[in-house]
Amino acid sequence: MTQRLQQIAQQLSASRSQCNSQKCLLASQVVIVTGGAQGIGEAVVTLFAQHGAKIAISDIDAERSQRLVEKLEKEGVDAAYFPGDLLDLSFPQTLIQQVLKRFGKINCLVNNAGMHSKPVNPASSLMVYERLPER
């Protein structure tokens, strides 16, 4: 297992160092990362972007999402954000439609949005907490 993980890490590292436009591992692939504005989601966004993916961030925190998209765009990444609450049952459908309209396809979904017991950002976690159906 450890050996396989080392192999994957080496492949990713090699791919990143060679990554320019069409040579990237994930060139032209469109990925949605829910909860992509911070924490683990932001790390996933960064890694996918480094490998050439087009990034769709969906997060309840629109401000953080916007800041991250602006940062990615400065680095030449094709990125957009689609703010919304994934606890709202109608939102995923809207999200898919909006991403398809913006990017034309979806190759990958990283379903990461959620709450952790020790929030990195108390403000956004409070927003989420207040929307929980049962407490």
Ligand X SMILES: NC(=O)c1ccc[n+]([C@@H]2O[C@H](COP(=O)([O-])OP(=O)(O)OC[C@H]3O[C@@H](n4cnc5c(N)ncnc54)[C@H](O)[C@@H]3O)[C@@H](O)[C@H]2O)c1
Q: Which helix (H) or strand (E) holds 34?
A: strand 30-34
- Nearer residue to ligand X within complex by CB, 49 or 128: 128
- Beta-bridge mates of residue 80: 56
User: At closest approach, how far in Å is the CB of 9 from ligand X?
Assistant: 20
- Nearer residue to ligand X within complex by CB, 76 or 122: 122
Tokens for 93, please give them: 């459908």
Is the CA virtual torsion 130, 131, 132, 134 positive or negative?
positive
Tokens for 3, please give them: 């050996």
* Chain residues in the site for ligand X (CB under 6 A): 35, 37-41, 59-61, 85-87, 112-116, 119-120, 124-125, 128
- Nearer residue to ligand X within complex by CB, 29 or 65: 65
SS3 for 53? Answer: coil
Least Cα distance to 87 among 56, 131, 33 occurs for 131
User: At closest approach, how far in Å is the CB of 98 from ligand X?
Assistant: 14
User: At closest approach, how far in Å is the CB of 117 from ligand X?
Assistant: 8
User: At closest approach, how far in Å is the CB of 114 from ligand X?
Assistant: 2
Query: Cα separation of 113 and 99, whole Å?
Result: 17
